[in-house]
């Protein structure tokens, strides 16, 4: 289990971002009960969550004391009765599931009204400067990890809508593109450890790419190439909210 090995520092670098939380919670605002699947340390879990499902004990151990109890299980075999919750939430987790189709079928089985997923579009992400200019090997990892968005249309019932989720310049959740305006952050090993994009890419290739980034930051080459980003308040790196109304 990847997160039993890499998740030790998750809650230090991956604090939920309030602006992203607001977008997710808006989609769940009129749902009375929510199941959070691949719940990890509990980020983005709305107050009306009635059950959380997470396979990694390292992640479960980082959940806040007052969070709903997490059941140790996988999305592909949910220990939850059919049609027992209004909504299912799955944030930045579907790309880790061994059997996506089975996991999504399980979300449909347990849900009465709505499924909300946060994922990303590799076609947009691969143009992000970190992957494009410094870590082409991580772009390859990303291509293998990312779930093509058309899969959700095919695998989820009802009306499926896709909503862009921009990354704020001071994003508090250290996922892959969080530091688009703070490039020095990528040089910190603790930040790297919280990104599956980095942990699943061969270490030597990540190291070489980040040394090139370090050099470009020192010479000012990064600033010249990416100067247009410096006065922006948010950035579209390809993160997308997928919302399926299943009723
Ligand atoms: C990037 S973390 C996201 C955690 C949390 N949703 C968040 O937003 O912080 C991905 C999570 O998916 C979990 N995961 C991996 N495989 C899974 C599976 N088959 N079913 C459910 N969760 C899984 C991991 O253990 C990890 O906690």
CB atoms near residue 109 (< 10 Å): 15
Closest-CA residue, ligand 1 atom 26, reads 40
pLDDT tens, per residue, the chain with 247 residues: 777 776 777 778 888 999 999 999 999 999 999 999 999 999 999 999 999 999 999 999 999 999 999 999 999 999 999 999 999 999 999 999 999 999 999 999 999 999 999 999 999 999 999 999 999 999 999 999 999 999 999 999 999 999 999 999 999 999 999 999 999 999 999 999 999 899 999 999 999 999 999 999 999 999 999 999 999 999 999 999 999 999 7
On the 0-12 / 13-18 / 19+ scale of CB atoms within 10 A, 90 is: buried
Ligand 1 atom closest to the CA of 173, numbered from 1: 9
Q: How many angstroms from the chain centroid is the CA of residue 163? A: 14
- Cα–Cα distance between 157 and 246 in angstroms, integer? 6
DSSP 3-state of 219: helix
Q: 30 alpha carbon to ligand 1 midpoint, in Å?
A: 25
The pTM score is: 0.94
Ligand 1 centre to CA of 119 (Å) is 12
Alpha helix (H) residue ranges in the chain: 2-6, 10-13, 18-27, 57-60, 100-110, 122-125, 129, 136-145, 150-155, 189-193, 196-199, 203-219, 221-226
| Nearest alpha carbon, ligand 1 atom 14 | 38
Ligand 1 within 6 A of CB of 90: no
Q: Is the CB of 93 under 6 A from ligand 1?
A: yes
Ligand 1 in contact with 52 (CB < 6 A)? Answer: no
């Amino acid at each position: 289990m990847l997160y039993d090995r890499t998740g030790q520092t998750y809650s230090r670098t991956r604090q939920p971002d309030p602006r992203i939380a607001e977008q997710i919670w808006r989609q769940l605002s009129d749902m009375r009960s929510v199941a959070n699947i691949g719940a990890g340390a509990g980020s983005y879990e709305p107050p009306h969550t009635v059950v959380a499902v997470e396979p990694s004990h390292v992640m479960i151990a980082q959940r806040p004391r007052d969070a709903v109890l997490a059941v140790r299980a996988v999305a592909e075999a949910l220990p939850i009765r059919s049609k027992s919750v209004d909504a299912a939430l799955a944030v930045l987790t579907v790309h880790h599931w061994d059997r996506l189709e089975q996991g999504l079928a399980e979300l449909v089985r347990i849900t009465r009204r709505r499924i909300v997923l946060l994922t990303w579009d590799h076609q947009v992400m691969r143009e992000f400067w970190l992957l494009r200019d410094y870590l082409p090997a991580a772009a390859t990892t990303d291509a293998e990890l990312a779930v093509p968005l058309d899969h959700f249309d095919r695998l989820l019932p009802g009306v499926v809508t896709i909503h862009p989720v921009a990354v704020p310049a001071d994003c508090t959740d250290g996922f892959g593109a969080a530091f688009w305006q703070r490039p020095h952050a990528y040089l910190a090993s603790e930040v790297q450890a919280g990104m599956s994009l980095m942990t699943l890419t061969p270490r030597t290739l990540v190291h070489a790419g980040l040394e090139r980034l370090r050099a470009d930051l020192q010479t000012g080459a990064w600033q010249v190439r990416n100067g247009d980003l410096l006065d922006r308040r948010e950035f579209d790196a390809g993160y997308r909210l997928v919302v399926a109304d299943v009723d």
